[in-house]
Amino acid sequence: MAYKFLETLDFDAAVYKQLLTERTDEAVETILEQREMIAIEIIKSKLVGRYNITAIFAAQGLERHYLIVHYITTITTYLFFKRNAARKLPSDLKEDYDNIMKDLDKIQAGKMVLDNLPLKIDGEGNAVAPATWANRKNTDFYI
């Protein structure tokens, strides 16, 4: 099995190779592949209303959006290290994970926009705007 979206070199930029390979009793590649699939599903669930998920995850190599690669790599690394010793998790990795989750929530809410990502389109080729929800309750209305 190979990575679905990431490449091995993506992890070299995010974490020391030694940390990923120092435990020889585990199938590190298999564990990382499983954690990558979880990370992809987390990101898909946050982007699905605004962006074309199929086009984003069909990209390969340099065509991939660098911020999406960073998000997936960080979430995958966080999940990889968290599964063994959550109390020994480096604080900077936990902070990065928390910041990414906050960013994804902002993207889902429409408060943050990622440039150069394909927008979700309808059958006529127009960009689909997600439904807008509002509260029209007026608490200052007195009769």
Give dist(CA 26, CA 91) in Å, integer.
Answer: 24
Instruction: For residue 129, report the phi and psi dihedrals to the nearest 5 degrees.
Output: -90, 130
Per DSSP, the three-state class of 127 is strand
Mean of pLDDT over the chain:
82
Tell me the pTM.
0.80
pLDDT at residue number 4: 85
pLDDT at residue number 68: 94
Looking at residues 45-57, what average pLDDT do you find?
Answer: 92
Could you tell me which residue, 22 or 138, shows the higher pLDDT?
Answer: 138
